[in-house]
A = this chain, B = another copy of it.
Amino acid sequence: MRTSVYMEELDAFTYRERISQDNAVVLIPVGSIEQHGPHMPLNVDVLLSKALAGATAEAIDGVVAAPVVYGYKSQQRSGGGNHLPGTTSLDASTMIAIAKTLTLEFARHGARNIAFINGHFENYQFLYEGVDLALRELHQSGIDDAKVVLLSYWDFVDDATIAELYPNGFTGWDLEHGGVLEASLMLHLHPERVRMDKVVDAPPAVLPNYDVLPVRPELTPASGCLSSAAEATAAKGIILLERASAGMAAALTLEFPGAAPQPAAQTEPESVGVL
């Protein structure tokens, strides 16, 4: 029987066995604490990055690190803005430090294949910088064989799936904040945390092609969501989870050749973990 893919559920001895396998892959979920409308909890990005990382890890026999819970500031054009209470965010320098340190720590454990599974749009560039700084420092320590992949899970939902799930047109991942993608995944993975009766079914937010600071609050819909989750279903969540995690598994298999896909890889995690 295979043990959990979640590092948090492993004792240190089991973890060490896993991490010391040839070509072990560590997947680090990165979320945020951010308002996601009246129908979903504040930690959607943590739950989903963790679940997507888990499903991917199942497929490639990877280990999912404990999640990065707090993320970078919500920006109005992708998350409604950081001015809204509940949204609780870190500065760029802290996000960079976290990404850098986690890369260094897992490398210290022996991992040479590391992937950040981002679940919050705004985190991306700061994770990138953290990884870059870590690799520079590893090089100074004489370690040149570490490789890091950085991805956002929704980028692995392919065009065919988008066409299938958004028959009335797709407005872009930016505006998916609190919308069909996240709500469908939540309905599948954590249905008890979703209140579809509270979904505000409004047209997509209209936001300028630039940022203005301080934020003009009136540009964010009252719900805090940038598009409607009314069309979300658990069935769509299953499809999204399968397609995205399969895509990520394929990418990681390509980048980390030794991390062979599992014969009967499950695309859904055994458990979504208890923090």
Contacts and interface: CB of A to CB of B under 8 A. Distances in A.
Interface of A: 7-13, 15-16, 19-20, 33, 35-43, 46-47, 50, 65-70, 73, 75, 82, 84-94, 96-98, 101-102, 105-106, 108-110, 122, 124-126, 128-129, 131-133, 135, 137, 139-141, 147-152, 155-156, 190, 193, 195, 198, 208-214, 224, 251, 255, 272-275
Nearest to A35: B12
B148 A213 contact: yes
Contacts of A151: 209-211
Contacts of A67: 69, 275
B147 A195 contact: no
Contacts of A125: 92, 122, 124-126
Contacts of A198: 11
Contacts of A86: 7, 10, 12, 15-16, 19, 109
A106 B88 contact: yes
- Copies of this chain in the oligomer: 6
A8 B33 contact: yes
Contacts of A93: 93, 96-97
Contacts of A68: 69-70
Contacts of A35: 11-12
Contacts of A47: 274-275
Contact of A156 (B65, B150, B156, B209): B209
A93 to B, nearest CB: 6
Contacts of A211: 128, 149-151
Nearest to A97: B94
Query: Which 9 pairs across A and B sit closest by C-beta, in order of nearness?
Result: A275-B275, A12-B35, A151-B210, A12-B86, A125-B125, A92-B129, A8-B43, A85-B109, A140-B140
A67 B31 CA distance: 13
A199 to B, nearest CB: 11
B98 A90 contact: yes
5 contacts: A12-B35, A12-B37, A12-B85, A75-B128, A209-B251
B98 A70 contact: yes
Contacts of A272: 274
Contacts of A65: 33, 88
A74 B38 CA distance: 39
